[in-house]
Amino acid sequence: MNIINIEHIAKIYEVGSEKVHALRDVTLKIDKNEYVAIMGPSGSGKSTLMNMLGCLDTPTSGKYDFTGSSVSEMSDNDLAKIRNKEIGFVFQTFNLLSRSDALHNVELPLIYAGIPAYERKERAETALTEVGLKDRMHHKPNELSGGQRQRVAVARALVTRPSIILADEPTGNLDSKTGEEIMILFNEIYEKGNTIILVTHEEYIAEHAARIIRLKDGLVESDKRVDNRFVPKPKATVIQ
């Protein structure tokens, strides 16, 4: 089943009087329970594509169907609803609310989904337990390590049970060892049947994915399945 179906989308930004073609003509399909890495040098349009996939932005032309509904024709409110229910974001800079503890950070999308407080708490606790932060629930971001912060962000992405997890350079702000741990976490999430789209420019990070899409100058350069994908071995010390 196609979750994402993009046909000939283009995105043109106007910077001053100049037109910048961030995406020229991209067509791709992503199925349920895929693990896709989107790669490309800076300026290739991968950020734009990610914003598009994340329903943060709408294409200038072309068609984008997300689980059967047409995103390109949606209003701001509908886009917000889709982002809330169907997409879990993980950002390079974590983007946690610094004054709130882990639990509240994870609860946040559930608030916008209109879920009552007791259920929110329960679900947020489950999500935090899943990412191995059971005993860090009431810590604020500045009391957590970088890896732990990103785990909170992953829990926040998972808590709404979205159709896709969209991770933008999730290891970009982490040292390689911690980054590896986060990739192990993503692998587990993938194994549980989630769909993951990973945006990165690091080859070794992209290797974790089962499919690699390379962009160049706003066009798809290559789209390959990875046969022997690198599956990291979870270490006993990582998840307590």
Minimum Å gap between C-beta 156 and another protein is: 7
State the nearest-atom distance from the C-beta of 227 to another protein, in Å: 34
State in angstroms the smallest separation of the CB of 134 from another protein: 22
Residues that bind another protein (CB under 8 A): 51, 54, 56-57, 76-77, 80-81, 83-85, 89, 91, 95, 97, 99-100, 108-109, 111-114, 116, 156, 160
Helix, coil or strand: residue 2: strand
Query: For residues 90 and 92, what is the distance between their CA atoms, to the nearest angstrom?
Result: 7
Which amino acid does the sequence have at 203? E
Say how far apart CA 165 and CA 83 lie, in whole Å.
Answer: 11
Nearer to another protein, 107 or 180 (CB): 107
HEC secondary structure over 133-155: CHHHCCCCHHHCCHHHHHHHHHH
Least distance (Å) between residue 74 CB and another protein: 12
Q: What's the CA gap between 198 and 234, in Å, rounded? A: 19
The answer to whether the beta carbons of residues 33 and 194 sit under 8 Å apart is yes
What is the distance between the alpha carbons of residues 20 and 41, in angstroms, rounded to a whole number?
16
Contact 178, 147 (CB under 8 A): yes
Q: Which is nearer to another protein, 87 or 182 (CB)?
A: 87
- Quote the least distance from Cβ 20 to another protein, whole Å: 14
- Nearest Cα neighbor of 124 from 101, 142, 94 is 101
- By beta-carbon proximity to another protein, the closer residue of 100 and 126 is 100
Based on CB atoms, which residue is closest to another protein, 51 or 187? 51
Which residue's CB is nearer to another protein, number 153 or number 213? 153
